[in-house]
Structure 1
Amino acid sequence: FYFYLYRPVIHNEGFGDVEYKWSNGGVPFHFADQQQRDEDYFIIRPLDGYHPGRIEKQVKAIIQDQADDFTTPHVIWMEGHDSSGPNAKTPQLLRDIRAKFPDLNVVHSTLSDYAASLLADADRDALKLVTGERRSAQYDRRSGNLYGYTTSARMFLKQRNFEAERWVQWYAEPFCMFSGLAGRDINDRYLDMAWELLLQNSAHDSIGGCSLDEIHDDMMHRYKQSIEISKGVFDASVKHLVRNIDMSAFSSTPESANKELFLVAVNANNHTREEVVEAVIDIPKEFDAGGFEVVDKDGNVMPVQLRHHHPVQPVLEQMIDRPMYFDMHRYTAYVQLGTLRPFSLTAFKVHPIAPREERNASLISTKRGFTVMDNGILSVRVNHDGTLNISHEASGTEYLNLASFHSEGEAGHAWVHEAVKPFVSTAGTKPVITVTENGHLSATVRIDHRMTLPADLKERKTGKKQTGSVTISCFVTLRKDAERLDFSIRVHNAAESHRLRIHFPTGLEATHSCGEGQFDVVRRSLERPNTKQWIEQPMYDFPMHHFVDLSDGDKGAAVLVNGLKEYEVLPDRKRTLAVTLFRAFEYIIAPSSRQDYTFQKGAQCLGDQTFELSFYPHRHDWNKGNVYHEALNYNVPVRLVQTGRTNGTLPGTKSLLRIDPPQLVFSAFKKDEAGEEDCYILRLYNPTDETISGEVTTHAILRHVSLVTLEEKHLQDIPLQYKDSFEITV
């Protein structure tokens, strides 16, 4: 409607008319000084034009071109483009169309009314079933291109968005609700503020990373605010919960009560876990003995690997007294905790002890000139070019030459990727390889690469001497009993216009990739059909949220990502999984004329940045291989709190919320939107293809449970199984 009728009739303009002549009339406005000369022109007194003589021809044209688009009598005409406002002349245009075409029932309607009309009149049995994502959606010149490469534009935005979502979704909101159930007053707007700031960054050109630097600078500030608010909510919530923990299971005497130290582990997801965590424990100097041990309520001593220690004097804040300080000795160490139940606070006691001589076997050794990491589950050989050979004991599979880095030139823009030479790889090079940590609980190898690249797109196109560089420090960490290998990748990027990816050649006979998305794990074919006749060529770089997985059914490999959003399975025999770290490009747009913003460098992702991901080999497919479980444990780390003895009523190990089986994924635990007292909303979903019957158990006593829509409209009551649980089928 906008281009067929609105522009021709209101403005006497066609689709391709983008130049405005000063002689056309109207009153233009533009700042003519150095401060604002680069701002757009505006028409402050528009022309009062109307050209009804064009109505008949344009209506016939739109009817003819849309003849095969609809399967019901209801045809939709859309007004406007992505930054346009309403025009008071539109109702007059509709009246004139009805007068000239009395057989057409043209209604000024809404999308919801149109959808209701389709639902009422569509012959569902006759409709063609379309499956898949349709990521190449443009089928003619009237339809739109998807422009899907915004998934990798300004990756730092996606990483920060992921961090903000984690803070509010997994830490702040659910534990705020748990503290409310435990008696804390949670009637404030802090969570609303955190969510609102996050949502303000979700406009398509904002989170897409395809706007001016000023817009994205504002976004980063909003993310910072959202995260800070979420931290405050989580802090207040956990303080309330911790002081209500029952620690009577730990023996004590009246004399020792004020000398006791406790560590509380907070598991903020719906999966039971036993893992090595990094703890920062402060021992008061008044009873520091040079070391410590951690024990559970049954007296079991947790394995500890001390990293370093030093004296500290942290500030003590008290609202009823002036700030003071503790005189402490701070120990940073790895601790292998026992079983942590879903959504639980688990207490451990910390005993200051004299240092012990550790005789545990370390995880790194040297074999035949190669650095080898081995925890009995994974064996990792560091090759001389910095790639890794990973052997997975459970599946009997060896993955070869993993984790090389690849750069390709980028001549595209925010919406489109266009690869240009030269292509540079770290495979076959000679990086610096260093063991930075080697203990019985955790070990890390550092691999330092340096790439020499063209400094910018001009150097790439002219073939001049390459004056740019990228330095990569890849920290590879293996922990005791871990089933995954963790990567922390620090990059200093001093080259423009290139895409940097990390490659994992899987060697799997997979036919599909499985990428986690919105309430789903999307199965995508690895076939690449002949698409020469397609208007919009297909994208083979796909989006993901927590993970992407490849499997041949018997064994598989997943890459778990912390905020990275784009992957591709290369069309090679090795089924190489390529994960994008960043895609740097020149920012040039053409809303009408070409606007060159290459002087803005935000889209070039220059400077220091850090990327985190993990390689997780497994048996079977993503579902049977517990990929979701491992991804959420990776991306929602255990939180640790140091405290004194508390004498509350909350058990020190029980789940505050548990959803069984773990194939049902937690999404949210929040107050209901109506604000009803003691009314909470639990959201969960089933990402598998099978119907799952499960059970929800809470620490609270339940009075009533009902099934509601996402709009929180009642569907049906759910009977209680016990006073604290109910069954659900999804």
Structure 2
Amino acid sequence: MTGKKVTCHIVFQTHWDREWYLPFEVFRHRLAQVMGRIVSGLETGELKQFVLDGQMAALEDYFDVCEDEMKEKVLHLIEEKKIIIGPWYVLADEFLVSGESLVRNLEVGMKLAGQYGESQKVGYLPDTFGHVSQMPQLLKGFGIDNSILWRGIKSETSEFTWEAPNGSRVFTAFLPEGYYQPLLNEDNVEEQLKTYVGKVRPYATTSHVLLTNGGDHLMPKHGNLMGQIDDIQDEVEFVSSTYEEFLTKVQAESSTDLPVYVGEMRSNEHIYVLPNVLSTRSYLKQQNQEMEDELAGYTEPLASLCSKGKYPERYLEESWKLLMQNHPHDSICGCSIDEVHREMETRTMMLKQRLESIQMGSLSHAAVQDPMFSGNGLRKPFEDNSVFTVFNPHPRSFTGWVSGEIWLKEDRSFRLKDRNGKLYIPVIKKKRSGRHFASPLDAFPDFKEGTFYYIEFYVENLPGTSLSSFSVAEGDYEEFVETNLETVENEFYSIELSREGTIVLVDKETGRKHAGLQRIYSSLDAGDEYNYSPPVHDVKTYAELFSLPTVRKSFSVQEMTYVLKLETPEGLDQERTGPSEKNVLTTIHITITLRAGDRKMYVDYIIDNHSKDQRLRVQYPLGDSARYTYSDTAFDVVKRKAKTKEELDAPKQKEVPVVVEPSLSFIRAENGFTFYHRGLQEYQVTSLGEEDTLDVTLIRSVGWLSRDDLRTRGGGAGPNMETPEAQCIGQYTFHAAFEFTPDKSLGQVATDAHIYRIPPRIYPGETRENELTGLIEFDNEEVQWSSLRRVADGVELRLWNPTDRVQAVTLKSGAERIERVDFLHARVKTVENFTDHLNPKEISTYLLKGGRNA
């Protein structure tokens, strides 16, 4: 650091968790009180400026309930740049939401800030539990060239350069003492400030340091706060500032050879990163991914294909906001009181209803189905699914299995036929009698009796982003019948169940046998919603086979169902040092499905959990030592060194080194084993004798928001409050798949993971001849997509390259021209011949303009 006099930039702020140790509405009432104090302080001159935590949701929450007079005052202070707003909508956890959700978070936040005034151009991320690798590229795409971080950093300087895998760089300010610094609220201000500057000054590479005066849900103290420090200005110059002003000053003085850190930030050397929030209340992670997939995977592409002039832009933006209200780090991480997470499930329920309705509305706009008897659609209310439609949401052709339910007025045998007359033999996995309900817009609601069939059938080359009609034809379907066999197989694998409740798989192509797969085990957990912590006297329990398997087969699809029992301690003993005396029984129903032509083995877990204070995992032996794994995060696939050595006792105010890893959709081991999933976002490589295993957390049962007596974390992480619903007692269902494909590239794995999460879907209705046959396709199996929607200037398609190689991509579309744009839709270039090249790890957004579909 230079010998200049130090300038300490004091930024007045409050960090606003929408919900945490209090529910949302209680915190909102507190927000109204805090906003009143902020406004009065700014109007009287006690405060020069105030930063509203970098997220627009807090401002919208306040505007929803405040009086008009206060709203006008706040808007005036925003216009005068005394209240600083933006750029985010909410401060989301970065590892538990999709990359597209992070893009929309900034998009919505900056749009709202622009409506009220002007957004600060600051990548403000003060309290998220680590940072994804592509954040610098996301920020740069929105015109933000900096970031302010606290958790996850291992830098020894408070200024460094953060580089994304594609080479995008942002200037980064590290908060070595964190954002929670309400020092001017204290009585001994002079002593507090001197101590603080003494702590942060050794990290500084310039003569400027930053004090974020404020904290969680705190209002600034009354009085002339800056006037309290006049007597100590000789040693340090204290100035009231903003983040933008501080960054401008420090960047101007910084050297050009700052340390460069590449990729994600998950170090806990300086401060907790609270890694086991990846598995806390895993049902919330599952629900969130379902809604992300419904919104970005089905609803927007379907509306883009069908709605054209009736595209529900406002409706969809409000849907994104509802989704993102579940994304703050104390919400999606599952580390709040039970009431908060019940409210999250209510938001999910509302969002599901909304998206289903928008999808049906889109199909009605395209006359695929008709909500009225008197309308112009081909399929009227109460007509059965003797004709139905398959939607391929992906902008690439699809070959594989389509699954879903149809209903027919008569119980009958049938085949399926496409528009070209090609016949398909469906597999009927389930059949039931029931009533179909419909409520037409122009008639009374009613029920129709019928038979419901859950069908699966194999299709080839469904066009990208298309609707394809199929009709019921004469013929016989494949029956799904129970057998007395104990194995299932297809052309790739043979699977049998061992007597200890694991599966033995034979790879028919290599002849290799893989034993001990899918072992379920439970160990005790004396931790809290943030951190796993085994008790001193831990107990590990392995599930046992409860009964012989049930095998059902057709010619094309085979399924094995079996039940495991897990007799575990009911929970911890009173001292929380070991198991309770009482045991309870947890049962796990597992179904494994194999399909012809498909290398994946699909697994459904139905867990009836009765055990508290535990971590329940599924384990896959990897056959050898694993040096590394790969898993996906926001717009990236990250190579991760295996950390099989685990420490369990942390010193005071420290966490043990992080050994669990994040995953959005898949985990791939060095030997070609791949695990696909929805919502099972925590995994770990552990040692089992002479080989390593991949362990995926299914349920983590804990009963406290935070405790200060953990072995693995040397102090509390929040209020010491009981959260009995975090024990996850009850029935939970999870879905996964796995395969052994050592020759498959990481890009192809990422593509398969996306299709696994968002398969083609069956809808009622019928497409008109030669209509809705495809909006856009691209031709590269390595390249991924994350967004397909209509915007003001055309149709937006967002692609990203997960590989370390340049990828060429050709876009097939009815558009007249295609432009490459940034995240704000500013033009970068015209795509000549509809062919572009994506650099390694690059995210690229395209606008399709004019023409038949755009």
TM-score range, shorter chain: 0.7 to 0.9
Among residues 161, 164, 169, which one is paired with 2:291 in the alignment?
164
| Structure 1, unaligned runs of 5 or more | 7-35, 246-257
Query: Does 1:177 find its partner at 2:304?
Result: yes
Equivalenced residues, count? 646
Equivalence map 1:79-158=2 (5 Å): 79-89=213-223, 92-97=224-229, 100-102=232-234, 104-124=236-256, 126-139=257-270, 144-158=271-285
- Which residue is equivalent to 2:556? 441
Shift of 1:215: 0.9
- Which residue is equivalent to 2:461? 339
Among residues 678, 685, 689, which one is paired with 2:800 in the alignment?
685
Contact 2:539–2:578 (Cα < 8 Å) also in 1: no
Among residues 56, 63, 67, which one is paired with 2:201 in the alignment?
67
- Which residue is equivalent to 2:666? 547
Query: Larger C-alpha radius of gyration, 1 or 2?
Result: 1
Shift of 1:329: 3.9
Contact 2:644–2:686 (Cα < 8 Å) also in 1: no
Contact 1:271–1:629 (Cα < 8 Å) also in 2: no
Among residues 697, 713, 729, which one is paired with 1:580 in the alignment?
697
- Secondary structure of 1:345's counterpart equals strand
- Which residue is equivalent to 2:848? none
Q: Which amino acid aligns with 1:304?
A: P
Shift of 1:351: 0.7
- Which residue is equivalent to 1:227? 352
Contact 2:613–2:727 (Cα < 8 Å) also in 1: yes
Shift of 1:96: 4.7
Q: Name the CA shift for 1:669/1:292 in 2 (closer, same or farther; >3 Å).
A: same
Query: Does 1:537 find its partner at 2:659?
Result: no
- Which residue is equivalent to 2:809? 694
Contact 1:660–1:695 (Cα < 8 Å) also in 2: yes
| Structure 2, unaligned runs of 5 or more | 1-7, 11-25, 38-45, 47-182, 371-382, 709-715, 840-854
Query: Does 1:666 find its partner at 2:666?
Result: no
Alpha-carbon distance between aligned partners in 2 of 1:621 and 1:110, rounded to the nearest angstrom: 50
Shift of 1:132: 4.9
Q: Name the CA shift for 1:282/1:71 in 2 (closer, same or farther; >3 Å).
A: same
Alpha-carbon distance between aligned partners in 2 of 1:679 and 1:388, rounded to the nearest angstrom: 51
Q: Which amino acid aligns with 1:607?
A: G
Query: Does 1:511 find its partner at 2:511?
Result: no
Shift of 1:527: 4.3
- Which residue is equivalent to 2:775? 656
Shift of 1:477: 1.2
Provide, for residues 533-575 of structure 1, a one-character-per-residue CA deviation record: whole Å limited to 9, x for no partner: 9843211111110111112xxx411111111111001134322
Among residues 760, 763, 778, which one is paired with 1:641 in the alignment?
763
Q: Which amino acid aligns with 2:606?
A: R
> Scaled by the length of structure 1, what TM-score is found?
0.80
Q: Which amino acid aligns with 1:630?
A: D
Provide, for residues 382-434 of structure 1, a one-character-per-residue CA deviation record: whole Å limited to 9, x for no partner: 2122211223345554322100111010101011111134433436x343132
Query: Does 1:729 find its partner at 2:838?
Result: yes
Query: Does 1:618 find its partner at 2:750?
Result: no
Larger CA deviation: 408-417 vs 530-539 = 530-539
Alpha-carbon distance between aligned partners in 2 of 1:200 and 1:640, rounded to the nearest angstrom: 29
Q: Which amino acid aligns with 2:697?
A: T
Alpha-carbon distance between aligned partners in 2 of 1:242 and 1:499, rounded to the nearest angstrom: 50
Q: Name the CA shift for 1:313/1:146 in 2 (closer, same or farther; >3 Å).
A: closer
- Which residue is equivalent to 2:41? none
Q: Name the CA shift for 1:405/1:323 in 2 (closer, same or farther; >3 Å).
A: same
- Which residue is equivalent to 2:582? 466
Alpha-carbon distance between aligned partners in 1 of 2:418 and 2:290, rounded to the nearest angstrom: 31
- Which residue is equivalent to 1:278? 403
Shift of 1:284: 3.8
Among residues 492, 506, 529, which one is paired with 1:391 in the alignment?
506
Shift of 1:681: 3.0
- Secondary structure of 2:355's counterpart equals helix
Q: Name the CA shift for 1:563/1:577 in 2 (closer, same or farther; >3 Å).
A: same
Provide, for residues 467-507 of structure 1, a one-character-per-residue CA deviation record: whole Å limited to 9, x for no partner: 32211111111111111111111111111110100001111
Provide, for residues 16-53 of structure 1, a one-character-per-residue CA deviation record: whole Å limited to 9, x for no partner: xxxxxxxxxxxxxxxxxxxx9xx99xx9999x998999
- Secondary structure of 2:460's counterpart equals coil
Q: Name the CA shift for 1:437/1:406 in 2 (closer, same or farther; >3 Å).
A: same
Alpha-carbon distance between aligned partners in 2 of 1:566 and 1:186, rounded to the nearest angstrom: 37
Q: Name the CA shift for 1:438/1:203 in 2 (closer, same or farther; >3 Å).
A: same
Shift of 1:212: 1.0
- Which residue is equivalent to 1:717? 829
- Secondary structure of 1:106's counterpart equals strand
Query: Does 1:705 find its partner at 2:835?
Result: no
Provide, for residues 507-544 of structure 1, a one-character-per-residue CA deviation record: whole Å limited to 9, x for no partner: 14531111111111121111457989984321111111
- Secondary structure of 1:156's counterpart equals helix
Q: What is the percentage of aligned positions where both structures have the same residue? A: 22
Contact 1:562–1:611 (Cα < 8 Å) also in 2: yes
Alpha-carbon distance between aligned partners in 2 of 1:520 and 1:59, rounded to the nearest angstrom: 41
Shift of 1:666: 1.0
Alpha-carbon distance between aligned partners in 1 of 2:206 and 2:572, rounded to the nearest angstrom: 50
- Which residue is equivalent to 2:675? 559
Among residues 724, 728, 745, which one is paired with 1:605 in the alignment?
728
Provide, for residues 104-135 of structure 1, a one-character-per-residue CA deviation record: whole Å limited to 9, x for no partner: 443323333434444444334x2223345342
Contact 2:385–2:406 (Cα < 8 Å) also in 1: no
Q: Which amino acid aligns with 1:112?
A: E
Alpha-carbon distance between aligned partners in 1 of 2:662 and 2:615, rounded to the nearest angstrom: 16
Contact 1:363–1:374 (Cα < 8 Å) also in 2: no
Alpha-carbon distance between aligned partners in 1 of 2:478 and 2:728, rounded to the nearest angstrom: 47
- Secondary structure of 1:495's counterpart equals coil
Alpha-carbon distance between aligned partners in 1 of 2:718 and 2:662, rounded to the nearest angstrom: 29
Contact 1:279–1:335 (Cα < 8 Å) also in 2: no
Alpha-carbon distance between aligned partners in 2 of 1:52 and 1:439, rounded to the nearest angstrom: 73
Contact 2:397–2:777 (Cα < 8 Å) also in 1: no
- Secondary structure of 2:218's counterpart equals coil
- Secondary structure of 2:461's counterpart equals coil
Q: Name the CA shift for 1:271/1:388 in 2 (closer, same or farther; >3 Å).
A: farther
Alpha-carbon distance between aligned partners in 1 of 2:507 and 2:526, rounded to the nearest angstrom: 40
Alpha-carbon distance between aligned partners in 1 of 2:606 and 2:692, rounded to the nearest angstrom: 26
Contact 2:429–2:455 (Cα < 8 Å) also in 1: yes
Q: Which amino acid aligns with 1:122?
A: S
- Secondary structure of 2:211's counterpart equals coil
Q: Name the CA shift for 1:113/1:523 in 2 (closer, same or farther; >3 Å).
A: farther
Contact 1:508–1:556 (Cα < 8 Å) also in 2: no
Shift of 1:267: 1.5
Alpha-carbon distance between aligned partners in 1 of 2:385 and 2:698, rounded to the nearest angstrom: 45
Q: Name the CA shift for 1:426/1:320 in 2 (closer, same or farther; >3 Å).
A: same
Larger CA deviation: 528-537 vs 331-340 = 528-537
Q: Name the CA shift for 1:308/1:488 in 2 (closer, same or farther; >3 Å).
A: closer
- Secondary structure of 2:699's counterpart equals strand
Contact 2:702–2:726 (Cα < 8 Å) also in 1: yes
- Which residue is equivalent to 1:198? 323
- Which residue is equivalent to 1:493? 609
Q: Which amino acid aligns with 1:391?
A: V
Q: Name the CA shift for 1:175/1:278 in 2 (closer, same or farther; >3 Å).
A: closer
Provide, for residues 159-180 of structure 1, a one-character-per-residue CA deviation record: whole Å limited to 9, x for no partner: 1111111111111122112223
Q: Name the CA shift for 1:483/1:259 in 2 (closer, same or farther; >3 Å).
A: closer
- Which residue is equivalent to 1:452? 567
